[in-house]
Structure 1
């Protein structure tokens, strides 16, 4: 073999090994966190921060997960700050979180909250405090919003208010069964659900 052919063969072998290692660590490494789509910066733990819950916690900034729900709709969930316990890496605690759902009919739902949790195995999401959701010309405000992808259920509770061109609703609890396409409105205690309809 000539010197040139040996050099080309050596370069090809090195490229093949590097490519194989990249594929292995990307797809077959069992220690990865599935669903992580964006490179994040590791941050030093802050013991006074409520998102941190011990030494077995990893904290990241600017996290983004992408997925598809049970109905085949795409979604993206983002957080400015996130952490997970090494013992439960599927439960991602998030601060300043938002999600965008892209429905098959072309409409978009945007949800924001101060903090919450995302389960990257079941795709369930919990939003807490100062919830704002926007769907077409409809707005929803609440203290809590739970999306259970595994049950096809959306539960909104705590000071729930909706604003729409067609009217407003005030309730303590709204439960939407996505598969049955039903909505259940209720109040805690003896309060009454308030609905104002506009023509």
Structure 2
């Protein structure tokens, strides 16, 4: 993928709910926050490839290779998410997600690009939620798969809200052809390189 790739370090982690996608902060406002550095003794120069917000979880790739980071963040690599949404999502809403919806981004309106989206027939095999999801007695929830080639801030959450089904839980399950498989929250796996397609 890149020259001298053996000199670089690459990791896949399952970012737990409640962690920021960074390693430390000098900000006094973030002293009580949790950071990726708690999960392992990562090498100097490590960076998260992309982000998962604090309330999202799942597959996050880390690398010391800036070229690898640029490649994964490019629109050549798919990112698949499972979103548990509030309500019984309709085929009409899923079709809107696929076609692209208007969301707010940086104070402006943004039209998301067409993507892959479908309703999951069964509850996906993901780790038990670390946060409280509202009780099913308050109405149904459903899971939807959304695969993007872009990654605006909180994009999946904004997309499902735009079609009337707010996200209650969000798990990134795949980056390229690398999936979470049997990973549990906080797991760290080192790779010699990432072969993502």
Superposition TM-score tier, normalisation by shorter sequence: under 0.3
Provide TM-score, normalisation by structure 2: 0.24
The structure that is strand-richer by fraction is 1
TM-score normalised over the length of structure 1: 0.24
Higher helix share: 2
* Largest Rg, 1 or 2: 1
